[in-house]
């Protein structure tokens, strides 16, 4: 008899076309993919907890005899059922119930319940527990394993998912092969389980498994999978890089006259890091495959100057350059800089954005197609179907974290001309530690600018508790007297955008009242992009002196007159995010200040994080500390790690495993089939990434 092969979802018992479609929506294409749908928490239904041992907050199975069931009318019609087991009592509370339910819960019967215990008005209770009335003498089986709970399963019930996963786990043909090189399978000195054991453990943990450890994500079985998932991402990005190096690009060399004239006219000397980055870019541009380089450096370190030199090298070699920013406002800022710097050198700078009128747009299209436009600055509009470049040789992308790997690749495609792909230079102001960068940006070469231009002032940072808000308002009044401008940021801290909005709105009302002589603006996430742009522009122009914002204030927008940044709920934010916000001030020549408002009392972790902000202005130090100081369960900005969709890995928790991941990746370099197998296991959209 031949073994069933289980190659397609419908080969599984109980799966028809309809369920298969639902599973595909969860990213499950093949039976083996089910193994990688991992639980995000567990329930313990393996043992009965005596009522006397229950604690508030605990989820537990209990079994006891009904002493009394009654319907109470205290405000709301409620059914209360008191049960006891000789060690203690518990109340079951129901707000919705039928007559039949009430009759079924008769005095003297035994029930088994599962639910969350909480403190009620008369001792411990469970609200709407799952329950079953046991027949006389019935001894119902308990579960043998902890019960896994899977993330959103849209139309696929938990029980169904569990039984499908059990089917796959018990079919020997589907045991995933373990490719992780020996020696890389320990963490913290402990031997990690093999891939299959780890998977089996996480889907069916034994009753004595350490729930707290599992909840922290640091169980050896989880860490084994984390390493593998990070490895999968690393490998897929490395593969992209390898593909890029197999593509053709026109070398952009020959003429550095423009570059020299530009640098001579700058009026300042380049920093060593700027010079080094420029040299790296120049080197890349001489090659006949596309440059894929990221320039990483704090706000104000001078990345745009590096980009301008790159543009001039390309133009000097007879190419066009596209400069793309994620928002219209940022794009305008680049347009102004590039025009100011390049036009005096005889280089034409064109502007292309979605808001151009049809006639203007046609004109720009013609200049691009005819080659009269040398440097074209704009938003996504730069890569619309209708745009045809005469000779695009270089694409410069600002603020990389807004664009994903996908966009990076598709840009390259859209810019393709025949066999040739444009070179790419990406700029980001999000400093990340080296180990992280090696995996997050495994498809890019990275240049780092750490050195700030000389004489750059540092932003003074203070932390104050929220009962000192009045003092902060006084400080704003002082700043306004000398024509300075002020940001007040109310970050998203609740899951609900509505609450977030309320926060910002009430702050706006408070400041409008407290500062009758100032114009106070408001900008928040519910506004349309062009409305946000309009408010930002009014603030930049000084029509508004105070700007209340949720975290949407545009990264990179330059308002040199802004000297005071107030950030609410600072204790709940990630350091990287605080640093980004702080970078909005200190851009002119006046001394700037950042005030971090926190709710007392501060946890130890929060205190340390705020101290880091007070002690340093260096984005790379902040980023490193951010990784070190993340406390369990604290609400933190996801921004930095939002670049990748992960199933088990969490870069902020698991970054310490990255050196091992990089080692493993290096060892798999010569085993492309194994690398592909690992990628395919973890990254469902692997094809979408790789389809260059
Ligand atoms: P970034 O894009 O990294 O935020 P910019 O390139 O916009 O930084 O530079 C910020 C400001 O510093 C600009 O006004 C720029 O002209 C100036 N600048 C850049 N490099 C230097 C330097 N080496 N010395 C002095 N000023 C510089
Ligand atoms: Mg910039």
Backbone angles phi and psi of 547, in degrees to 5: -125, 115
pLDDT band at 64 (very low <50, low <70, confident <90, very high): very high
d(CA 640, ligand 1 centre) in Å: 24
Per the CB < 8 A criterion, the answer to whether 311 and 375 are in contact is yes
| For residue 553, pLDDT beyond 80 | no
Could you say which of 3.40.605.10, 3.40.50.620, 2.60.320.10, 3.40.50.300 is the CATH number of the domain covering 460-616?
Answer: 3.40.50.300
User: What's the DSSP call for residue 417?
Assistant: B
Report residue 686's pLDDT band, with 50, 70 and 90 as the boundaries.
very low
**pLDDT value at position 692?**
29
Judge contact between 229 and 648, C-beta under 8 A. Answer: yes
Structure-token pair, residue 495: 């899951």
292 close to ligand 1 (CB < 6 Angstrom): no
| Total residue count of the chain as it appears in this document | 692
Q: Say how many Å lie between the CA of residue 376 and the centre of ligand 1.
A: 21
DSSP output for 239-302: HHHHHHHHSB-----S--HHHHHHHHHSSSPPPHHHHHHHHHHHHHHTSSS--EEEEEE-TTSS
pLDDT band at 691; cut points 50, 70, 90: very low
Rounded distance from Cα 486 to ligand 2 centre (Å): 20
Evaluate: CB of 300 within 6 angstroms of ligand 1.
yes
The count of other CB atoms within 10 Å of the CB of residue 40 is 14
Which listed ligand is nearest to 399 at the C-alpha?
2
Residue 410 has which token pair? 């598709």
Question: Which of 407, 413, 347, 419 lies closest to 377, judged by CA?
Answer: 347
Nearest-ligand number for the alpha carbon of 269: 1
Q: Which atom of ligand 1 is nearest to the CA of 304?
A: 6
Query: How high is the pLDDT of residue 672?
Result: 87
Give the lowest-confidence range in 138-152, 427-441, 467-481. 427-441
Model pLDDT, residue 685: 54
Q: Work out the widest C-alpha separation in the chain, in whole angstroms.
A: 96
For every residue of 164-187, DSSP letters joined together read HHHHHHT-GGGPPP--SPTTS-EE
- Cβ–ligand 1 contact at 580 (below 6 Å): no
Point out the ligand 1 atom lying closest to the alpha carbon of residue 297: 3
Closest CA to 158 of 12, 74, 40, 240: 40
Between 83-87, 406-410, 580-584, the lowest mean confidence (pLDDT) is in 406-410
Q: How far is the centre of ligand 1, averaged over its atoms, from the C-alpha of 452 (Å)? A: 8
Write down the mean pLDDT value for the chain.
86
Contact 251, 288 (CB under 8 A): yes
Q: Whose CA is nearest to atom 27 of ligand 1?
A: 453
**Alpha-carbon Rg for the chain in angstroms:** 30
CATH fold of 51-134: OB fold (Dihydrolipoamide Acetyltransferase, E2P) (2.40.50)
Report how far residue 88's alpha carbon sits from residue 82's, in angstroms, rounded to the nearest whole number: 11
User: Going along 494-584, which residue ranges are E strands?
Assistant: 520-523, 546-549, 562-567
Look at ligand 1, atom 20, and give the residue with the nearest C-alpha: 302
Which CATH architecture is the domain 252-449 placed in? 3-Layer(aba) Sandwich (3.40)
Which residues contact residue 274 at a Cβ distance below 8 angstroms, ignoring those fewer than 6 apart? Answer: 301, 302, 305, 306, 449, 451
pTM: 0.74
The finding on whether 305 has its CB within 6 A of some atom of ligand 1 is yes
Mean per-residue pLDDT, 207-227: 89
Q: Mutate which of 304, 331, 335, 455 to test ligand 1's pocket (most atoms within 8 Å of Cβ)?
A: 304
Q: What's the pLDDT band for 406 if we cut at 50, 70, 90? A: low
* Nearest Cα residue to atom 15 of ligand 1: 302
CA distance 129 to 160: 21
Q: Is the pLDDT of residue 518 over 90?
A: yes
Cite the DSSP H helix spans in 60-157.
99-104
| 554, pLDDT greater than 80 | no
3-state helix, strand, coil in the chain (%, to 5): 45, 20, 40
Choice among 424-433, 446-455, 593-602 with the minimum mean pLDDT: 424-433
More confident site: 216 or 132: 132
Q: Would you say residue 659 has pLDDT above 60?
A: yes
88 Cβ inside 6 Å of ligand 1 = no
456 CA to centre of ligand 1 in angstroms? 10
Check pocket membership of 560 for ligand 1, CB cut-off 6 A.
Answer: no
To which H or E segment does residue 607 belong? helix 604-615
- Percentage of residues in the chain with pLDDT exceeding 90? 51
Q: Are 98 and 105 in contact (CB under 8 A)?
A: no
With beta carbons less than 8 A apart as the criterion, state whether 84 and 51 touch. yes
Alpha carbons 393 and 409: distance in angstroms, whole number: 15
Residue 636 scores a pLDDT above 60: no
Range(s) within the chain of domains with CATH label 2.40.50.140:
51-134
Question: Would the pLDDT of 432 be above 70?
Answer: yes
For the chain, residues classed under CATH 3.40.50.300 are 252-449, 460-616
Question: Per residue in 281-340, pLDDT tens?
Answer: 999 999 999 999 999 998 889 999 999 999 999 999 999 999 998 888 889 889 999 999
Distance CA 256, CA 285 (A): 12
Query: How close is the Cα of 355 to the center of ligand 1, in Å?
Result: 28
> Which pLDDT score is estimated for 439?
79
Mean pLDDT value of segment 118-127? 92
Q: How confident is the model at residue 502 (pLDDT cuts 50, 70, 90)?
A: low
Residues 6+ apart with CB under 8 A from 459: 565, 582, 585, 586, 592, 593, 594, 617
- Within 8 A by CB and 6+ apart from 500, the residues are 490, 491, 492, 493, 494, 524, 525, 550
Residue minimizing CA distance to atom 10 of ligand 1: 300
307 alpha carbon, closest ligand: 1
Reported as a pLDDT band with limits 50, 70 and 90, residue 635 is very low
User: For residue 691, how far is its CA from the centre of ligand 2 (angstroms)?
Assistant: 31
Alpha-carbon distance of 646 to 338, in angstroms, equals 38
> What element of type H or E holds 470?
helix 469-481
Give the pLDDT mean for 560-585: 88
pLDDT value at residue 631:
47
93: helix, strand or coil: strand
| For the CA of 262, the nearest ligand | 1
Q: What's the CA gap between 462 and 582, in Å, rounded?
A: 11
**Could you read off the pLDDT of 601-620 as tens digits, one per residue?**
888 888 999 999 999 999 88
Q: Which residues surround ligand 2, an ion (CB under 5 A)?
A: 556
Rounded CA separation 371/200 (Å): 61
What is the distance in A from the centroid of ligand 2 to the CA of 285? 22
């Amino acid at each position: 008899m031949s073994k069933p092969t289980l190659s397609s979802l419908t080969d599984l018992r109980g799966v028809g076309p309809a369920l298969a479609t639902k599973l595909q929506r969860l990213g499950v294409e093949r039976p083996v993919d089910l193994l990688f749908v991992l639980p995000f928490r567990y329930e313990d239904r393996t043992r009965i907890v005596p009522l006397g041992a229950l604690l508030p907050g605990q989820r537990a199975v209990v079994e006891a005899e009904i002493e009394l069931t009654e319907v109470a009318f205290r405000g709301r019609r409620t059914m209360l059922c008191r049960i006891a087991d000789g060690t203690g009592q518990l109340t079951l509370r129901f707000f919705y119930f039928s007559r039949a339910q009430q009759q079924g819960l008769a005095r003297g019967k035994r029930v088994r319940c599962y639910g969350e215990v909480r403190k009620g008005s008369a001792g411990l209770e469970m609200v709407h527990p799952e329950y079953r009335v046991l027949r006389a003498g019935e001894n119902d089986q308990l579960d043998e394993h902890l019960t896994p709970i899977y993330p959103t399963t849209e139309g696929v019930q938990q029980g169904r998912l569990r039984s499908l996963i059990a089917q796959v786990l018990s079919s020997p043909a589907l045991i995933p092969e373990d490719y992780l090189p020996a020696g890389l399978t320990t963490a913290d000195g402990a031997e990690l389980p093999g891939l299959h054991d780890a998977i089996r453990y996480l889907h069916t943990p034994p009753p004595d498994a350490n729930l707290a450890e599992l909840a922290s994500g640091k169980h050896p079985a989880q860490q084994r999978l984390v390493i593998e998932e990070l490895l999968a991402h690393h490998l897929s990005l490395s593969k992209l890089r390898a593909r890029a190096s197999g593509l053709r690009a026109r070398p952009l060399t020959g003429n550095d006259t423009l570059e020299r004239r530009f640098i001579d006219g700058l009026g300042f000397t380049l920093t060593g890091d700027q010079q080094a980055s420029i040299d790296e870019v120049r080197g890349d541009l001489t090659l006949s495959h596309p440059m894929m380089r990221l320039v990483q450096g704090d706000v104000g370190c001078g990345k745009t100057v590096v980009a301008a030199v790159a543009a001039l090298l390309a133009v000097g070699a007879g190419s066009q350059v596209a400069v793309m920013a994620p928002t219209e406002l940022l794009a305008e800022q680049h347009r102004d800089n590039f025009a100011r710097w390049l036009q005096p050198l005889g280089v034409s700078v064109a502007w292309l954005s979605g808001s151009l009128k049809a006639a203007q747009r046609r004109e720009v299209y013609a200049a691009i197609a005819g080659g009269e436009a040398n440097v074209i600055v704009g938003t996504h509009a730069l890569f619309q179907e209708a745009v045809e470049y005469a000779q695009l040789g270089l694409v410069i992308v600002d603020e990389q974290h807004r664009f994903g790997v996908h966009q990076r690749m598709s840009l390259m495609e859209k810019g393709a001309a025949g066999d040739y792909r444009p070179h790419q230079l990406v700029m980001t102001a999000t400093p990340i530690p080296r180990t992280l960068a090696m995996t997050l940006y495994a498809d890019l070469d990275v240049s780092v600018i750490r050195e700030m231009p000389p004489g750059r002032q540092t932003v003074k940072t203070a932390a104050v508790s929220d009962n000192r808000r009045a003092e902060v308002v006084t400080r704003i009044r002082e700043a306004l007297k000398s024509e300075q401008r002020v940001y007040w940021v109310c970050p998203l801290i609740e899951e609900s955008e509505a609450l977030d909005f309320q926060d910002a709105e009430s702050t706006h009302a408070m400041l409008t009242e407290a500062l009758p002589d100032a114009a106070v603006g408001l900008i928040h996430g519910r506004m349309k992009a062009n409305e946000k742009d309009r408010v930002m522009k009014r603030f930049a122009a000084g029509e508004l002196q105070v700007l209340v914002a949720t975290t949407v204030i545009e990264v990179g927008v330059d308002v040199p007159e802004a000297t005071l940044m107030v950030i609410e709920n600072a204790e709940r934010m990630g350091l990287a995010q605080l640093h980004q916000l702080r970078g909005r001030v200190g851009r002119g020549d006046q001394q700037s200040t950042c005030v971090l408002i926190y709710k007392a009392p501060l946890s130890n972790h929060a205190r340390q994080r705020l101290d880091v902000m007070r002690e340093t202005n260096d984005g790379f130090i902040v980023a490193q500390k951010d990784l070190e100081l993340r406390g369990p369960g604290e609400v933190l900005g996801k921004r930095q790690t939002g670049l990748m969709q992960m199933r088990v890995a969490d870069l902020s928790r698991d970054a310490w495993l990255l050196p091992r991941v990089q080692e493993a990746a290096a060892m798999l370099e010569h085993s492309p089939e194994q690398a592909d197998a690992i990628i395919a296991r973890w990254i469902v959209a692997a094809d979408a990434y790789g389809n260059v």
